[in-house]
Chains A and B, each alone.
Chain A
């Protein structure tokens, strides 16, 4: 039975991720006094791209495989989230380190795809993505490790519940702040849309991609954004738990929407940072998340 919950997870992410993207685009447009695209536009985009010809502009297998690899890795990750506070078949088989590893794998696939395309702008994007990954992933890893320390278990469901499940300690508060401040970087939105930076490097790593392969990357990005939003809701808002599966899921979806509203508003009110400025900012976040883990080890 518990395998069904994993499938429900994947389907919910699959269906809802473009919707959140659509809503946040609409909200951004309203802030900018624009009409904005229809809320369903991201679905149309994906469908349109899937219907296009596959163009192999780089002519090597890394370039062809990278989008699928990124997509597969994010699917594996979203399957493991105890969505609706319900454990599923995957939770007991993967641990925190596997999830961090799988997430990183998605980023590595983006970088490999960009490097294999041999496009100057894509390569700049790849090097920026690499820096971002090295500097931002630790905040996520520390969040889960904090949970693991507090739950005294590396299992993913334990780690997720452990952060704030038994009430907010000092460590969880520091981590909450670090996670919130890293959120825009997790989802690659302004001021941290440095990797794609349309007006400098024309979309960076994805520049040479089109058609179905680009659709996979787009979907990957949307799923990743939803994952970080859902993870925030699951880790830091355990108090919404009612015990009724469908209700919990509904509440979590609404809370995720709130996170997306926050992301869209912050994104619409900031210019893009330069990579050197962003790195200094990330360094502070890493220190904050490290100190949160230290505090939890001491026992708060």
Chain B
């Protein structure tokens, strides 16, 4: 009896009648439809059975059945299974029981759908605004179908987010909305006693541009990979691949094996780029500028290589639904191998320097330490979880693309601190080079694209996981009519990891704030799901240097 079956038989007697339907449309996926009154109990049971909470997806079904949908997903990593627990609440009584008291990592997802859909969560410990701007009218929920994508409500001057009250005896240090160690707008109110951090509140989503809404209303299936790629400037391929896989899974499209291999190569090149970039930033945050510069010098090789493979240094534009756009030729294969040798040798040099530097150990060991149990409870993912001894990696646990053909190790550290994240990421760089070498050597010949049908069937659910450099990315697609998804939900890894940062900061020194936050490799743009595109012109245009200079010099009006 496989695990999905045994899970069903564990749940069914306990929740007779509450689970109204069970379907397993694809391998490794189980969809449960449940009564909203028992969602909390079923979720708790799923976690007790070994499930790892991933994300919640809210959707507006009012036009079809007058209800708002809510889906919680749970991964069973040892069994290659993801369970989606679907429920719904009538639009005139949109109340669901909160699962956050049992599963702290669900806090943001639920707050997001309070804002965007107008769902209400009974028993949520912190029902504050998360995503919407402070002056957004409280009764307009942008993800509702009757709200136009380009609605601009009047702005208000006096609206401001109320940070949590500072604990007694502490002073507040504002980190953000703009701060050199953040690189992107986000606001942390850090409560310190002397230089010791006693608490922290976060206000982010300052550049939320509603990319999900945009893609659900304005563009077609095959434009979205390119928009998805622009969710994040660093793990673009991850989002494009995850989206494409979700659509392919929803409609049952098999893509050519060669395309899967090429996706794998691009994902790993992206990981090399991302980890080297992170390493530089991390060294900068602890004031070690020399290693910052050298990591970025090594990273430059990867960017030049990417340009030769894809035409772009970053944001590769390789993935479409059904396959990839460009091939890896024999000459490129040779090029890749040469560059990998160089990158690996130079990274080993940096690795030796870091390992041997006692000062780096002093700045990272015991800093931001949390236990493996807490890491699991908060649903941490990626190197941040693996540094706490949590042995998860989507590439191995829920294989996608060509990873089932490739041999690689999943590095784990048990120090539970920032040093662990440094250590794990170094080893992952070497694993990535190993994966790319195997992939280019084993890649089967064949076409690059399986053309999808002109009209994809509506109301199919697809869920895809991709191990981004920062951890697991989850994309959930519900296919729709009009050649575009009815609902597309993106959960980048930072969305999970950032929620646990206040816990990691507790009782550390303020001087360690940048590196602790930096250790999760935060990507606020992923979390905010930003995109800027010009819908009116839609054409590509190269901005020349003098234009940029003119823009930069323009007087504010």
Q: Which residues of chain A have a CB within 8 Å of any CB of chain B?
A: 28, 31-34, 120-121, 124, 190-191, 193-194, 197-200, 202, 268-277
Q: Does B283 contact A (CB under 8 A)?
A: yes
Query: Is the Cβ of B180 less than 8 Å from the Cβ of A32?
Result: no
Given A200-B181, A202-B180, the answer on whether A274 and B290 have CB atoms closer than 8 Å is: no
Q: Which residue of B lies closest to A268 (CB)?
A: B290
Number of A-B contacts (CB under 8 A): 76
8 Å CB contact of B511 from A32, A34, A200, A202: A200
Choose, from B242-250, B358-366, B530-538, the stretch at the interface: B358-366
Query: Is the Cβ of B287 less than 8 Å from the Cβ of A272?
Result: yes
Closest beta carbon of chain B to A267's beta carbon, Å: 9
Chain A residues within 8 Å of B360, by CB: 271
Query: Is the Cβ of A200 less than 8 Å from the Cβ of B513?
Result: yes
Query: Is the Cβ of B181 less than 8 Å from the Cβ of A199?
Result: yes
Closest beta carbon of chain A to B534's beta carbon, Å: 34
Query: Is the Cβ of A32 less than 8 Å from the Cβ of B513?
Result: no
Chain B residues within 8 Å of A34, by CB: 293
Q: Which residue of B lies closest to A277 (CB)?
A: B362
Which of A28, A124, A199, A202 lies at the interface centre, i.e. has the most chain B CB atoms within 10 A of its CB?
A199
Query: Is the Cβ of B509 less than 8 Å from the Cβ of A190?
Result: no
Chain A residues within 8 Å of B286, by CB: 199, 271-272
Q: Does B179 contact A (CB under 8 A)?
A: yes
Q: Does B547 contact A (CB under 8 A)?
A: no
Q: Does B188 contact A (CB under 8 A)?
A: no
Query: Is the Cβ of A199 less than 8 Å from the Cβ of B514?
Result: yes
Closest beta carbon of chain B to A215's beta carbon, Å: 22
8 Å CB contact of B288 from A197, A198, A202, A270: A270
Q: A32-B289, A273-B363 are in contact. List 5 more A-B contacts (CB 8 A).
A: A32-B293, A198-B287, A199-B285, A200-B513, A200-B514
Closest beta carbon of chain B to A228's beta carbon, Å: 20
Given A271-B359, A277-B362, the answer on whether A191 and B287 have CB atoms closer than 8 Å is: yes
Q: Which of B498-554 contact A (CB under 8 A)?
A: 509-514
Query: Is the Cβ of B511 less than 8 Å from the Cβ of A197?
Result: yes
8 Å CB contact of B359 from A193, A197, A273, A275: A273
Query: Is the Cβ of A275 less than 8 Å from the Cβ of B511?
Result: yes
The size of the chain B interface, using a CB distance under 8 A, is: 31
> Cα distance A221–B401 when bound, in Å?
57
Given A32-B294, A120-B173, A271-B283, the answer on whether A202 and B289 have CB atoms closer than 8 Å is: no
Q: What are 6 A-B contacts defined by CB distance under 8 Å?
A: A31-B290, A190-B287, A199-B181, A199-B514, A200-B181, A276-B509
Query: Is the Cβ of B359 less than 8 Å from the Cβ of A33?
Result: no
Q: Which of B266-308 contact A (CB under 8 A)?
A: 283-290, 292-294, 297
Q: Which of B89-131 contact A (CB under 8 A)?
A: none
Query: Is the Cβ of B284 less than 8 Å from the Cβ of A191?
Result: no
Query: Is the Cβ of B293 less than 8 Å from the Cβ of A33?
Result: yes
Chain A residues within 8 Å of B284, by CB: 199
Query: Is the Cβ of A124 less than 8 Å from the Cβ of B290?
Result: no
Closest beta carbon of chain B to A273's beta carbon, Å: 7
Closest beta carbon of chain A to B354's beta carbon, Å: 10
Query: Is the Cβ of B509 less than 8 Å from the Cβ of A274?
Result: yes
Query: Is the Cβ of A273 less than 8 Å from the Cβ of B362?
Result: yes
Q: Does B195 contact A (CB under 8 A)?
A: yes
Closest beta carbon of chain B to A185's beta carbon, Å: 14
Chain B residues within 8 Å of A269, by CB: 290
Closest beta carbon of chain B to A278's beta carbon, Å: 10
Q: Which residue of A lies closest to B367 (CB)?
A: A274
Given A32-B289, A199-B181, the answer on whether A191 and B512 have CB atoms closer than 8 Å is: no
Q: Does B168 contact A (CB under 8 A)?
A: no
Closest beta carbon of chain B to A203's beta carbon, Å: 9
> Cα distance A193–B287 when bound, in Å?
8
Query: Is the Cβ of B180 less than 8 Å from the Cβ of A198?
Result: yes
Closest beta carbon of chain A to B477's beta carbon, Å: 39
Q: Which residue of B lies closest to A202 (CB)?
A: B180
Query: Is the Cβ of B174 less than 8 Å from the Cβ of A191?
Result: no
Query: Which 3 A-B pairs have CB atoms at the shortest separation, nearest pair first?
Result: A272-B287, A271-B288, A32-B293
Q: Does B357 contact A (CB under 8 A)?
A: yes
